[in-house]
Amino acid sequence: MSDAQTPCPRCGTAVEPLQEYCVECGLRLHTPGVVPALATGWRRRLRWYPGDWIWPSLLALLIAVVAGGAAIWWTRDAESAATETVIGDTSQLPTAAVTVSPTTSTPAPTVPTTKTTRTSTTKRRAASNRLIEWPKGRTGWTLVLVSLPAPAGRQQAIARARQALAAGLTQVGVIDSSEFSSLHPGYFVVFSGIYPSLSEAQAAASKAAGAGYGNAYARRVTS
């Protein structure tokens, strides 16, 4: 076999780079399209080719990485803007009245920024520890953490949802699958997050796995 020749993926017979069919087993070696072209380039460089599934998998991985980076950037930017609003906006705070005498200097007014910051932080923490409801009429993607049959009861599903909150997950709630056309009826579903796309939901799956929910999966919720 010369350097320009490659083995047939099916029978191993040597074939030329531009040969369309294997003369031994009849396998079509070249078909039009992006994926076949990529597969041909792979086979020219490496003897082992995993299959055409590798290309959509690599594309999905790239999309997930980009979406995860964008989500991290957006979250940091939003938190920074919220902190600047609470601490920096002191224009509406009352100014303490000061009596000036000829022999004393004027003291600077005290601005209670520490109390304002603590109050805002406490409110954010309290909000993050509450279960949420799926917005009415909203269509989107979410992570399904647990699905419990209806006979198990809604209270048991709520208890599992609170465990997810305690594990560090956010936007956790419980929905009745019978109320949504995209879900199989007869279950109470514990979900985490409301995402506009599948890629963003899949990117959040790694955080759920780190919190102990390795079986969490993305699912579209349609009213």
Residue extents of the structural domains in the chain: 1-52, 140-221
Residue type present at position 161: A
Contacts of 19 (CB under 8 A, 6+ apart): 29, 30
Is the pTM here over 0.85, yes or no? no
| Residue 22, token pair as written in the block | 């294997």
Tell me the angle at which helices 113-128 and 54-88 cross, rounded to the nearest 10 degrees. Answer: 140
pLDDT in tens, 164-199: 999 989 889 999 989 898 898 999 999 999 999 999
Tell me the angle at which helices 54-88 and 198-210 cross, rounded to the nearest 10 degrees. Answer: 80
pLDDT in tens, 27-48: 887 655 566 667 777 777 766 6
In CATH, the number for domain 140-221 is 3.30.70
| Residue 107, token pair as written in the block | 């003291």
Predicted confidence at residue 139, as pLDDT, reads 93
Contacts of 42 (CB under 8 A, 6+ apart): 49
pLDDT in tens, 98-153: 454 555 555 666 655 555 556 555 556 555 678 999 998 899 999 999 999 988 77
Instruction: Round to whole Å and give the CA distance between 12 and 102.
Output: 103
Label residue 89 left, alpha or beta by phi (over 0 means left) and psi (-120 to 50 means alpha): beta
Instruction: Round to whole Å and give the CA distance between 167 and 153.
Output: 22
Dihedral, CA atoms, 153, 156, 158, 164, nearest 10 degrees? -140
Residue with tokens 């879900």: 183
